[in-house]
Structure 1
């Protein structure tokens, strides 16, 4: 496909500069506030969505976002493409790039498949979640935090639960804001991958921020602005340990934990399982912004699609 702008991909937050991340978050925030209205920047473009694992919010957000920005949409189910019969990802990407302007894809594996598809640079490829990172979730989360709390610099976040792809993305994004703090409390054996932690530490050093991970709930920070959790059974994964729920039980977000932080909001990337990672009175309570956060999925998707396909925002 011919493009008036260089092809951009969003495969990992490590691939974007600080300024690009800030611009993406600001764009999402502007859409959320209603201060920015789409004016058809993707008119004439065709976007494909390819979700090999389940998705409610991300798939809907990118589908609706593409339509609202003026693009047309082609949706592929998990069994629709010839990859399922053995076609190489590089061949799939080459052919799709001859017909599509962009592909939003979710896999149950790492990002290598998406990088292979993107290697032709003939269409933009967006990582809508892989095993190791959920980059568009972090853009959604930062936009929701900015909308709810008015700032990202100096923001203090307590993340409780599995060190999954959502946690990894948050760790690769939040410490790029000066003075921000990310306190990760993850069960032993279920922490963040070391490469993500190492990269997050580099961002923290560069921006006078803090990222720390502990595998217990002792010695929690005195004050935080956000308490964040995710489902214990990450989409598309299973756990080998039959007693894993017992390992996770101290990491439930309940009213006792929230009372430690009377001014903090609660966030969850959804779907949620009330009574497991979070109690119902927290998820459905007045300090929960989990469903406003879900609405930000659309705004984040619109910002990402503009950036990848139209060169916006600058």
Structure 2
């Protein structure tokens, strides 16, 4: 079984295969119940609409049995170690999908416990399966990602970090991160991206909207209050002035073929306006569908493929 805690655990070929499989499912649907009679646990300690439901839908459509856990349903909440929990769950489950607003440390301890394959469905550092869905949406739109330029606007959150790693693993894909000063993608993530790209990663970060090199092929934004968590600075919105994706922003950076992406949920009127989110350029709703096709690809890899010795 193969865990997926971070995209940094993958190689370029691994990521390309996941994206290609997700795109194929999106194009052809499910032809075979590849996970028939397998069991998938879905453990979410925080609220979720799309990610939780997409993993449930993915497992169910592939033929797996599912069980869902809330934040107080596992004995982790009473002090059992992640390693002991994993050792037990491994006797019942083939994969465990985990979401938290905190760091991925608990996921890695679960993965080290000799239990089911562990899939990161969001941590404070990274949202790896979202990035797979994002690349799948762009692949469906453009065919090849080589030579394409993606602009990611707003807070340097878990989605932005995942995109930085995904772009580094995708030869020829250029990513510009446009983040307000003080809300950038962390430096260590950019260093990891550079390492993954063997010095050839086309990932850059800027803090001034006037510096956007255009035109770009896709504009991506996400909710500024990551996972709904309030920010420490009560005046934080002032730092985001000029970062809202409205029609004027699109006109400045877009070509005729440029599309718009949003990982949802959206705070309409804040990071994006209605005319952009609901407009002809928007692929946000198809992107939401690909959360499920990406989940299918990840679950198949987790359950059906054997990990090499020492593989993450």
TM above 0.5 = yes
User: What is residue 226 of structure 1 aligned with on the other side?
Assistant: 218
User: What is residue 310 of structure 1 aligned with on the other side?
Assistant: 304
Residues 1:72 and 2:51 aligned together? no
Residues 1:213 and 2:205 aligned together? yes
What is the TM-score when the length of structure 1 is the normalising length? 0.93
What is the TM-score when the length of structure 2 is the normalising length? 0.94
Cα separation, 1, equivalents of 2:114 and 2:138 = 33
Whether the 8 Å contact between 2:167 and 2:203 is mirrored in structure 1 is no
Gaps of 5+ in 2: 307-312
Displacement of 1:122: 2.7
Gaps of 5+ in 1: 1-6
Residues 1:272 and 2:266 aligned together? yes
User: What is residue 198 of structure 1 aligned with on the other side?
Assistant: 191
Counterpart among 83, 95, 108 of residue 115 in structure 1:
108
Displacement of 1:205: 4.8
User: What is residue 118 of structure 2 aligned with on the other side?
Assistant: 125
Listed one character per residue, the Cα deviations across residues 155-193 of structure 1 (whole Å, up to 9, x for unaligned) are 101111000000000000123222221111101111111
RMSD (Å), alpha carbons: 1.4
Displacement of 1:268: 0.2
Displacement of 1:204: 4.1
Listed one character per residue, the Cα deviations across residues 202-244 of structure 1 (whole Å, up to 9, x for unaligned) are 34455x4411111121221121000000000011522100000
SS of 2:212's equivalent? coil
Displacement of 1:248: 1.1
Write the mapping of 1:118-267 to structure 2, written as runs, cut at 5 A: 118-206=111-199, 208-260=200-252, 261-263=254-256, 264-267=258-261
Write the mapping of 1:41-80 to structure 2, written as runs, cut at 5 A: 41-80=34-73
Whether the 8 Å contact between 2:59 and 2:65 is mirrored in structure 1 is yes
Counterpart among 4, 9, 24 of residue 10 in structure 1:
4
Cα separation, 2, equivalents of 1:150 and 1:201 = 25
Listed one character per residue, the Cα deviations across residues 115-144 of structure 1 (whole Å, up to 9, x for unaligned) are 100102331100000000000001000000
Q: How many residues align?
A: 304
Residues 1:293 and 2:280 aligned together? no
- Structure 1 window deviating more from structure 2 (193-202 vs 291-300): it is 193-202
